[in-house]
Structure 1
Amino acid sequence: MTVADPLQRARTLMQMRRPAEAERELRGLLAQEPQHTTAHAFLALALVEQGSVAEAVAEAHEAVGLAPEQWFTHYAAGQVHYRARRPAEAMAAINASLDLEPEYAPTWELLARTQMLTGQWPQVAEAARRGLAIDPQDADLASLLALALTHLGDAEQARAAAAHAVQLDPESATAHLVYGHAALACGDPRTAADAFREVLRLDPGFDQARDLLVTALKQRNPLYRGLARLRGRFRGGWWQVFLLPAVPPLIAVFVLIAVLHWAAWVAEAWTTLRLARAKATRLLFEGTETRVAVLGCCLVAVGAALLVLGVALGQDAIGTAGVAVMALVTPVQEAVHTGSARGRAVLYGWTALLGLAIVTSVVLTSVATALLGVYAGLATIWVAAGVRRVLGSEG
């Protein structure tokens, strides 16, 4: 058995996504040849795949220390730092590799991916183009270029690049995913939905594609699409609250923004419920999504019934409480769509307080309390924005 045999086996095992077995091969090789540079580099990659970041970084530094003049050791170090989500260290290693060997397309791909971590989309596009100049048949580079162009707002060029990526590798889930992104950016949710379905056919466990497919299916609804566009255009900012004493007419703007958001959340609930009940799409939705959609629709129905009852009985408190119940759609949806667990807990608590205030307004027949519930419910979009700003990075 030659020393090349365990190294080749390790490479094959890495390609098969079996890093633990690759690690055993590489450690056996290093026991025979402790100074084997390539073995140290591949061992670093095998370790970071298993989540052993500190040990992987140590092995990468060992490889670079043994052969700083070899581009591959720097490339491997860049891979380790990238997978460990250390963009600054990854960039330094990648640039060192490119200084030694600028004609290796995968290094440009790694550079693009690293720049993507920090949202440097113009640099991502440039790195992808440099890589494609070396290897025009690389579907991953074409996909990265398309994704960068999508984020830069060049939807048509992004769609062309994504279509090229799909043409280069029709079996690439990433290429179809990026094509779906570009189609959404172009305002073509039907094509985007087809692309995301193809992603799920190729990789059924691709959760991001599942979420995007749901988004695309919802955007096929003209009402949902129009309300979502208006909501995005008239979001406003929490800082505008301080302008109200100086510019009272801004109150009308705030009311318009809040009502648009409420209408969009109602459309979200209705569209989700409709898709969750359809045979072709019901498996795309988890139980939580369906329950929240049912709750949102029920809040509208119960609130409308209370409003009608209040008008029929001449009870202003009951009618206003009905409007407040309908307004609860906003806090419920904002809570569910908050990524931070602590943020969700805060918003669920806020929703519970609003519900208690509505019940109190009915018991005490207090129109003022019910009206306060209406305003507070609709204004939850700014409460939620503040919660996400403070707790968005916390799990």
Structure 2
Amino acid sequence: MKVADPIERARALLQLRRAADAERELRGLLAQEPQHTAAHALLGLALIQQGQAEEAVREAQEAVRLAPDQWLPHYAAAQVYNRAHRPDDAIAAVGAALNLQPEYAPAWEVLARAHLLKEDWPRMLDAALRGLGLDPQDSDLASLAALAYAGLGDVRQARAAAADAVRLDPENPTAHFTLGHVELRLGDPRRAAESFREVLRLDPGFGVARDGLVAALKRRNPVYRRLSRLRGRFPQGWRLIFLLPAAPPVILVFAVVAVLHWVSWVAEAWSVLRLARGRATRLLFEGVEARVAALCLGLVAAGAVLLVLGIVLEADVMGVPGAALMALVTPVQEAAHTGSPRGRAILYGWAVLLAVAVAVSVLLAAPVAALLAVYAALATVWLATPVRGRITPAV
């Protein structure tokens, strides 16, 4: 009984998202019984919930080492690998668990989530359906099946599976989030917004649902939606730059793409600021999002004033820096929409560097420097791609 109590308390704490408290319980148990398999397995889950991926993986591997013939350590290890964004390891671990306990539906859910990380839709769907065959009332498995159908482009099945997930558990925020995600992906932002609002009603701390609601509200704006579609017709891969020596006209494509991205970023800033000021939607935004939007619109307004004055007065030293100020919207927005803190810092640093270049061009009356800043700012749509690729883990 003394051994079981800390394990049960740790499990309850993990369900309540109190990972640090669960960690303390488990470390106390391991201080008394260092070879306790379940304690190592649960400690791995507690650590991964706190973002300590390396130590969590070590604990999960220790649990497997202690009891390789038991399915639970493999199952827990698969969950740790999933959260650490190591889907191949997760697939191997949950495969070992299923070899030992093939009738355990949650293991099929973990397998489906691992294939989700790899965007392997057929295998993800197969795992979700096999889990549903064992437990047809599992709302999370139905949600995963819906995501897989959406990835495969099966609109009818995706909507049906997502609706079924909500029917199975109307109080499950994940089910409503999946329905919203499916509707958003399949082009119905109104229904998506309704689902994301329900998620936030059930769980106000569901941050990803807030992001989804913001995206849905933006896509309900016809101007924003048309700009996004137009921008999506053009490739933005930075590797196209290598085509310039062989095909100089390609530079026109770069110019069109850069301008379209700039216009889209301005439209996004306007949408965010409008929603941030709305009575019903202001709580959806963190202060930094509204401040970035206001900054971008301020750059456009100030730059437009300088540009118009430069044209009227025929003064390049005023007009070109005005255009450069307007172009700074692109690097600022690219930085704000980068998930990795390190990548975001790099892009914000790049934006500050360009702003300094604009200021220097004004002080030295050197419009050529400001013109180069315009080109560099608009080109950030390609510069940001390798930064995100090197800094942000692929999910």
Partner of 1:48: 44
Residues 193-230 of structure 1, C-alpha deviations (whole Å, 9 max, x = no match): 11111111111111111111111111111111111222
1:215 matched to 2:215: yes
Partner of 1:250: 250
How far did residue 154 of structure 1 move? 3.1
How far did residue 232 of structure 1 move? 2.5
1:63 matched to 2:59: no
How far did residue 350 of structure 1 move? 2.3
**Structure 1 368/175 Cα, relative in aligned 2: closer, same or farther at 3 Å?**
same
How far did residue 91 of structure 1 move? 2.7
1:235 matched to 2:239: no
Of 45-54 and 12-21, the range deviating more from structure 2:
12-21
Partner of 2:51: none
Of 106-115 and 167-176, the range deviating more from structure 2:
106-115
Partner of 1:306: 306
How far did residue 76 of structure 1 move? 4.6
Partner of 1:337: 337
Match of 1:256, SS? helix
**Structure 1 25/161 Cα, relative in aligned 2: closer, same or farther at 3 Å?**
farther
Is residue 45–residue 79 contact of structure 2 (8 Å, CA) maintained in 1? no
Match of 2:119, SS? coil
Residues 232-264 of structure 1, C-alpha deviations (whole Å, 9 max, x = no match): 321332222222232222121111100000000
Which residue identity does 2:275 align to in structure 1? Answer: L
Is residue 155–residue 185 contact of structure 1 (8 Å, CA) maintained in 2? no
Residues 78-134 of structure 1, C-alpha deviations (whole Å, 9 max, x = no match): 445545655444433322332344333222112112223333332111100111122
Which residue identity does 2:43 align to in structure 1? Answer: L
Provide the rounded CA distance (Å) in 1 between the counterparts of 2:265 and 2:105.
45
Provide the rounded CA distance (Å) in 1 between the counterparts of 2:367 and 2:354.
14
TM-score if structure 1 supplies the norm length?
Answer: 0.86
Provide the rounded CA distance (Å) in 2 between the counterparts of 1:337 and 1:371.
25
How far did residue 75 of structure 1 move? 3.7
Of 285-294 and 242-251, the range deviating more from structure 2:
242-251
Provide the rounded CA distance (Å) in 2 between the counterparts of 1:11 and 1:353.
50
Provide the rounded CA distance (Å) in 1 between the counterparts of 2:219 and 2:230.
13
Of 80-89 and 99-108, the range deviating more from structure 2:
80-89
Of 350-359 and 140-149, the range deviating more from structure 2:
350-359
Match of 2:126, SS? helix
Is residue 196–residue 212 contact of structure 1 (8 Å, CA) maintained in 2? yes
Partner of 2:323: 323
TM-score if structure 2 supplies the norm length?
Answer: 0.86
Residues 267-316 of structure 1, C-alpha deviations (whole Å, 9 max, x = no match): 01100000011111111111111111011111111111111111221213
- Taking the TM superposition and a 5 Å limit, the aligned residue runs for 1:67-78 are 68=69, 71-72=71-72, 74-78=74-78
In structure 2, stretches of 5+ residues that fail to align are 48-54
Is residue 45–residue 79 contact of structure 1 (8 Å, CA) maintained in 2? no
Residues 165-186 of structure 1, C-alpha deviations (whole Å, 9 max, x = no match): 1111111111111111101011
Partner of 1:112: 112
Residues 114-157 of structure 1, C-alpha deviations (whole Å, 9 max, x = no match): 22333333211110011112222211111011122223333442
What number of residue pairs does the alignment pair up?
Answer: 383
Provide the rounded CA distance (Å) in 2 between the counterparts of 1:77 and 1:373.
50
Residues 58-90 of structure 1, C-alpha deviations (whole Å, 9 max, x = no match): 2343233xxx2x555644554455456554444
How far did residue 355 of structure 1 move? 2.0
Partner of 1:296: 296
Which residue identity does 1:48 align to in structure 2? Answer: G
Provide the rounded CA distance (Å) in 2 between the counterparts of 1:74 and 1:364.
66
Aligned CA RMSD, in angstroms, stands at 3.0
Of 352-361 and 372-381, the range deviating more from structure 2:
352-361
Provide the rounded CA distance (Å) in 1 between the counterparts of 2:269 and 2:2.
64
Provide the rounded CA distance (Å) in 2 between the counterparts of 1:85 and 1:242.
32
**Structure 1 247/72 Cα, relative in aligned 2: closer, same or farther at 3 Å?**
closer
